[in-house]
Structure 1
Amino acid sequence: MSATPHRRALVIGASRGLGLVLASELIRRGWHVIATTRRSGGELQAHADASQGRLEIESLEMTSSEQLAALRERLDGRRLDLLFVNAAIDRGNLPIAAVPTDMFTEVMITNAASPLRTVEALRDLVAPGGTVAIMSSEQGSISRNTEDGFELYKASKAALNQLMRSYATRYAADGHTKLLIDPGHNQTRLGGPDAPLLPEESIPAVVDVLEAQAGAPGLQFLDRHGKTVPW
């Protein structure tokens, strides 16, 4: 991102884990951050209380079109340098034949459809030259799917990537930088306690990538080191 002051970011899904650390890292670097959560209180509120007004909290259940429309209305007139959507769920390591239909639908709506609906609803708040980014995963890379396991989660991230590709094609001329970010395997509620990375280690690198890629044309799928992840 540019070195100009008063950079503003909207982080969707910041109540814990990667999203919370992302919001905190942006604030540490001088950004003003609007962060969403489904439930009030908790660590995000504590961070807001200590932020000297640089962290605002908004309520959002991303899968609700009504709540998304209400958030867009509340933010009317604001301008963002960064819109970052961070949200995903996992419902266990089942082969696809054992996944109930309602589970399949829930994961696909949360991990693939809702992030793009969110971007569509809020994209006009992003300033010219700003960035639209979504937290993806190496698990969504079809060419790297060479190990068993977590078939539904992998499919949802591949679907997310494909939908973001369609979005980038449709809005190719809007001047926004568009990024899918693989943050690595982190110790979060989703990643589990045995993951090799801590969010406090990986997220500063992710923000480095966001800042370095500001103004870059087209859509890129990058890891936390700024290297291209194969589709």
Structure 2
Amino acid sequence: MPTAPQRRALVIGASRGLGLVLAGELTRRGWQVVATARQDDGELRASAACSNGQLEVETLHMTSPGQLAALCERLDGTRLDLLFVNAAIDRGDVPIDAVPTDMFTEVMTTNALSPLRVLEALRGLVAPGGTVAVMSSEQGSVSRNTEGGYELYKASKAALNQLMRSYATRHDGDGHTKLLMGPGHNRTRLGGPDAPLLPQDSIPALVDVLEAQAGAPGLQFLDRHGEVVPW
């Protein structure tokens, strides 16, 4: 019986936190993974060194068009089963009327604009039937925004979701599964030390959803249990 081809994934934003655990979990499940970091990150490269060639590291600062173009050139000819973009920054719980313009621009560029630039640049590497996914947040749900706080972060994730909706409309019929994933409130640098979830618990569940949804048509906004998150 012929051996099934090894699945290939590109994880954008894997230097720490959810992205680092995601790259490791995919590798553990037998995926061939290329993971990006903004700089020469020790923990990610240490994981790659112990992976028997299953995990490779590339450098990418997502907000740099030049670095993105260079990555596209280096990966030319690669065929992916999964392209996953993970990006988020937070500049604290600042009321929107007190947010400086440069802070607003930085958060929106990192959390909403840059992920879609990456998708547009790299989507051609995704094989027919492959998956294009972005790490969103339940905090980007407009209908669930019933508690105060973190207005800029919430707005950036809502903007990401809307831009992903436009992306899905523009590329309707391309054969790619398209997912916005809400991982829950995790204990990372972004989520803080008091968050109720550990990435080591939530990310395996999220990968279960990614694998189960492979081949599904259209765009879905799902949590780590595979439940639909309302827009």
Look up the match of 1:5.
Answer: 5
**Which structure 2 residues correspond to residues 47-126 of structure 1 after superposition, within 5 A?**
47-126=47-126
Look up the match of 1:166.
Answer: 166
Give the total of aligned pairs. 229
Q: Which blocks of at least 5 consecutive residues in structure 1 are unaligned?
A: none
Distance 1:223 1:74 in 2: 33
* Cα offset, 1:5, TM superposition: 3.4
Question: Is the contact between residue 11 and residue 36 of structure 1 (CA under 8 Å) also seen in structure 2?
Answer: yes
Q: Secondary structure at the match of 2:71?
A: helix
* Cα offset, 1:39, TM superposition: 1.0
Query: 2:16 matched to 1:16?
Result: yes
The list of structure 1 runs, each at least 4 consecutive aligned residues, that deviate by more than 4 angstroms after superposition, is none
* Cα offset, 1:41, TM superposition: 3.4
Query: 2:213 matched to 1:230?
Result: no
| Root mean square deviation of aligned Cα | 0.8
Question: Is the contact between residue 5 and residue 30 of structure 1 (CA under 8 Å) also seen in structure 2?
Answer: no
* Cα offset, 1:185, TM superposition: 0.3
Look up the match of 2:32.
Answer: 32
Look up the match of 1:200.
Answer: 200
Q: Secondary structure at the match of 2:18?
A: helix
Query: 2:184 matched to 1:184?
Result: yes
Q: Secondary structure at the match of 1:217?
A: coil
* Cα offset, 1:42, TM superposition: 1.2
**Which structure 2 residues correspond to residues 129-144 of structure 1 after superposition, within 5 A?**
129-144=129-144
Structure 1 length-normalised TM: 0.98
- 1:150-176 CA distances to partner (integer Å, 9 max, x unpaired)? 000000000000000000000011000
**Which structure 2 residues correspond to residues 214-225 of structure 1 after superposition, within 5 A?**
214-225=214-225
Q: Secondary structure at the match of 1:102?
A: helix
